Structures are given as structure tokens and as C-alpha cells.
Amino acid sequence: GGTIEVSAAAIARSFEYYGRTSLQRKASSIRFVEIEKNGDIRERMLPRIDICTETAVEPRDLRVLDSSFRAQMPVVLPREKAIVLQLEYVRGIITAEKIMLMDPWMPTVKSIIPHLRNLTSPIEDDDRCPPFELRALEGVLIGVSSAFERQMSTLSSAISTSLDALQIEVSKENLQRLLPLKKSLSSLTMSVGEVHSAIDELLSSDEDMSEMYLTTKLVTGHRRRVDQHQEVELLLETYLKQIQEIENELIAVKSSIAASEAIAMIELDSARNQILKMDLFLSMGTFGLTSAGVVAGIFGMNLLSGLEEHPFAFYYTTGGIGTVMILFLFGSWRVMKKHTKLL
């Protein structure tokens, strides 16, 4: 009886262990779409350890592909049998036989799959056709640059409309409408700049570029010489130039926003100066009236001055006060006009 109980307990622990292990593997699995060298496409979901085994990459390299790490910088990592890349919108692994794209539900990934499939399908009997890994890399670069161009076009159009409205009327609503567009522009400019830096960094390393010839290593068993990377260099330089042009256009749009904001600030300063001018003029008028009130208060005291019986004293006093007020206001206006730029 005791033996049966021990065996049952051991079986229960075994089921519990394997169940827990299965859940852990499922939780650490990555979903991706796979495009093979012959053009076949299929969607798969594998544990991280299986992906590492299948592509011969280190587990730490998979952090680049983890969408939960949003702070990851764009990077291209050539490895012994694969190229691990994260270029803002596209995360994947390229081998000599296939390309694995993570986040297959993302619109950018969906949009480049048909183009990538056509690009990776080689022309038969064409010895000049680049190896599969370079064609796959070109497809990814095309998708990334196209996504940047679409975002830039949409954002530039919206910013142009907002700037036109701001030129017609400098208002709180127009300025508030421009603020989120400006933030989006800054974010896009930063993303383009980071991708530009990743490609530029790759171009600065002869070892990394020669390491990217995966087909050569698969066929010959050894890598190319460090100086044999002309195809990769030309490919990267072509798309680096496109990314640079996009970045320059974004900087130009940013400069246009800054110029429009400067003009708006000048107009607001001018309006504020006009308000200050009116406030200062009213203050001078108030001072003149207050001075007249002092004279009127003196004559209103219950004291005899001998002027009470004079037939024209009231008219002389009123006229004199009015003349002094007018001269004071005119003199103050002339002095301020001469010595300040507010009027």
C-alpha cells in the first residue's frame, strides 16, 4: 500500500512539473512569420531556447527582438550563422535559408511581407543575384524607409495645415493644435536618427560587414576576408542615403515650425506692447485727473480766500486746471515717444 501511495505522489509531482514547464515555455515563446528561401511563408510560435538552437544565436541577442523592451535602440547584429536586427518597425532574424519577422500582426510587418517574398525569390540561373541574406536585408530596409516616408508625408501635411492656420490667426487653439504635431515630429526625427546611427555604425565596421555573408560561410565553411564586403557596403550606403534624406526633410519641417513660432511670438509681443501702451496712457490720464482733484479739494475747503466773490474765479480755475492737464498729457506723450519704443 505504501509503495502505491509513493508512486502516485511521484506521478502527481511529475505531472505538476511538466505542466509548469509547459506553461513556462509557452510564456517565453515568440510568435513570428517565417519566409523561406524558396518563397514559402508560414506563421510559427517557438520558445526562445528553440529559436536560439535553430538560428545559432545567443539568448541575450533575443532581447533585441523582445517588444516589451521598448527602450531598445535600433541595431544590426551580424552573428556566425544569422543576422539579428531591430530597425524601429521591424524585428527579425535573417539566416542563409530564411528570415523570421517578429510581431507579424503589426501593420508595417504585414505591408513588407509580399514585397519581401518577391525580393527573396531569386531569378533562376542568375549568378549575379545577391545571396538570400542580402536580399532579405534589402527588403527590411525598404520596408523601414517606406514606413518612415509615409509617416513623414502624413505628419508634414498636418503640420503644413496647422502652420497655414497659424499664419492667418495667432490663437490659442491654433497653437494647441500644433503642439502634439510638434511632439510627433520630434519622436519621428529621433527614430529616424537612431536607425541612421545603426546603419552608419555597421558601415564603420569591416568585420561586421564581411560577417554578413552567411551563404558564403554555409557553402565554403569560412567567412570572407575583411575587405570583401562591397555588395553589403553599397546596399547599406544606398539606404543610409535615403534615411539621411528623410532626416533632412524632418529637420527642415522642424525649422519651419520654429520660424512660424518665432513670427507668432513677435505678433504676441506686439499685441502685448499695445496693451502696455494703452495701460500707460490710462495711467497718465488718471494721474492728471488726480492732480486736478487735489486743486478742487483745496478750493472745496471751508476757508476764506477772497476769491469766493470774484466773478471769474471759477472759470479761471477750471480753465487753468484743464490747460495744465492737457499740457501734462501732451508732454508726457512726447517724452515717452522720444525715449521708448512702445509707442
Distance CA 65, CA 100 (A): 11
Does position 248 have pLDDT exceeding 90, yes or no?
Answer: yes
Cα(269)–Cα(280) distance, rounded to whole angstroms? 16
Contact 133, 83 (CB under 8 A): yes
Highest mean pLDDT of the ranges 104-118, 120-134, 329-343: 104-118
Reported as half-sphere exposure (CB side, CA atoms, 13 A), residue 189 has a value of 15
Which of 139-148, 272-281, 330-339 has the largest mean confidence? 139-148
pLDDT for 17: 45
pLDDT for res 338: 66
Question: What is the reported pLDDT for 308?
Answer: 63
CA pair distance 64, 66, nearest whole angstrom: 6
Q: What percent of the chain has pLDDT over 90?
A: 34
Name the residue with higher pLDDT: 177 or 299.
177
What confidence score (pLDDT) does residue 69 get? Answer: 63
Quick one: cell of 218?
A: 554555409
Nearest Cα to Cα of residue 135 among 35, 66, 223, 55:
35
Please answer whether residues 131 and 96 qualify as being in contact, where contact means their C-beta atoms are separated by less than 8 angstroms: yes
pLDDT single digits (tens) 92-104:
999 999 999 988 8
Tell whether the model's pLDDT for residue 11 goes beyond 90.
Answer: no
| Rg of the chain on CA atoms, in Å | 39
Reduce the secondary structure of the chain to three states and give it as a string: CHHHHHHHHHHHHHHHHHHHHHHHHHHCEEEEEEEECCCCEEEEEEEHHHHHHHHCCCHHHHHHHCCCCCCCCCEEEECCCCEEEEECCEEEEECCCEEEEECCCCHHHHHHHHHHHHHHCCCCCCCCCCCHHHHHHHHHHHHHHHHHHHHHHHHHHHHHHHHHHHHHCCCHHHHHHHHHHHHHHHHHHHHHHHHHHHHHHHHCCHHHHHHCCHHHHHHHCCCCCCCCCHHHHHHHHHHHHHHHHHHHHHHHHHHHHHHHHHHHHHHHHHHHHHHHHHHHHHHHHHHHHHHHHHHHHHHCCCCCCCCCCCCCHHHHHHHHHHHHHHHHHHHHHHHHHHHCCCC
Selected residue with higher pLDDT from 197 and 73 = 197
Average pLDDT, integer, range 222-244: 91
Q: Measured between alpha carbons, how far is 118 from 244 in angstroms, rounded to an integer?
A: 26
Which of 21-25, 64-68, 71-75, 119-123 shows the lowest mean pLDDT across its residues?
Answer: 21-25
329 or 251, which is more confident?
251
CA distances from 167 to 7, 200, 245, 253, 264 (A): 84, 39, 27, 16, 8
Whether residue 237 is predicted with pLDDT greater than 60 in this model: the reply is: yes
Residue 247 CB contacts under 8 Å (≥ 6 apart), including other chains? 189, 192, 193, 196
Structural domains of the chain, with CATH: 29-269 (1.20.58.340), 272-340 (no CATH)
Q: Which of 43-52, 65-74, 290-299, 301-310 has the lowest mean pLDDT?
A: 301-310
